[in-house]
Amino acid sequence: MSAIYDGIAAEYIKNRESIPDELLSSLKIRGIDFDGAKIADFGAGPGFLSDLLSAEGGIVDAVEPVEEFINHGKEKFKNNNKVNFNLRHAEESGLPSKTYDIVFVLSGWHWFRRTEAIAEAERILKPDGYLIIADINIERKAGIVKDTMKIIKRNRKKYKVDSRLHINKKEQRIINFPVSWIGEWQGHNFEIKDLYKKSYRQEFDREEWIRRLGTYRSLVEFKKKHRRKTLEKIEASERTL
């Protein structure tokens, strides 16, 4: 099966390097120490998170199935011996057992075959290791974002887009995590230490918003021509607001 971001990796690399400072600072407040930690970054993409983790002193194995992301990461970090890239899926990372202090997943858990990914995290973590699942979401309830999501939803139906997300969108949630996910983690002997949500603000002009939007999860499953038409519809709609 092809990886989700095959075909749009270059676009993603160009437009998506913006992880809020609050992500790692909020974890450090909660006692997570990245300095010297052995970390597996599942679904690492081109290494945006791996870069931040290595800057905090972490030693990172980035696991990613998109070859273009891997090639970009290897070139970018060729002089950084704290980040190593692995062309593998999270469900079969190939990493050594009971070696890692942290398995980190940022905005990727919904793409994984969760039962296999949990088992793989459990296998490679040390007995006292942490599985950190984080997601970065857009507030969808008002303004341009709300109108944008309506257009995407209509076009998903129009173009008969089959979802590869491993998630039930109608399921009850706790801090935006489906309750079934929490049960699955607990079922694999992971003790829930904390669940929290932190808001942050990021501003884009219209052109930046459209460029970034093209690589968001809501659109990456579209065929290329349908994704382009949907973005054109969104841009035209915004000009009338």
What pLDDT was estimated at residue 226?
95
Two structure tokens written together for 182: 């929490």
* Strand spans (E) along 154-209: 173-174, 177-178
Q: Is 19 left (phi over 0), alpha (psi -120 to 50) or beta?
A: beta
Q: Give every residue of the chain whose pLDDT is below 50, as ranges.
A: 1, 241
What pLDDT was estimated at residue 1?
39
Asked if 222 contacts 161 with a C-beta cutoff of 8 angstroms, the reply is: yes
Which contacts (CB < 8 Å, 24+ apart) does range 64-69 have?
Answer: 64/88, 65/3, 65/89, 66/3, 66/4, 66/5, 66/6, 66/9, 68/6, 68/9, 68/10, 69/5, 69/9, 69/12, 69/13, 69/44, 69/45
Residue 206 contacts by C-beta under 8 Å, 6 or more apart in sequence? 235, 238
Distance from C-alpha of 36 to C-alpha of 141, rounded to nearest angstrom: 40
Q: Could you tell me the fold of the domain covering 9-138+168-202?
A: Rossmann fold (3.40.50)
Locate the domains of the chain by residue range: 9-138+168-202
Distance from C-alpha of 173 to C-alpha of 194, rounded to nearest angstrom: 15
Eight-class DSSP state of 37:
-
Distance from C-alpha of 143 to C-alpha of 175, rounded to nearest angstrom: 22
What pLDDT was estimated at residue 207?
85
Write out the DSSP string of 115-167.
HHHHHHHHHHEEEEEEEEEE------SSHHHHHHHHHHHHHHHHTTPPP----
pLDDT in tens, 179-215: 999 999 999 999 999 999 988 888 888 888 888 888 9
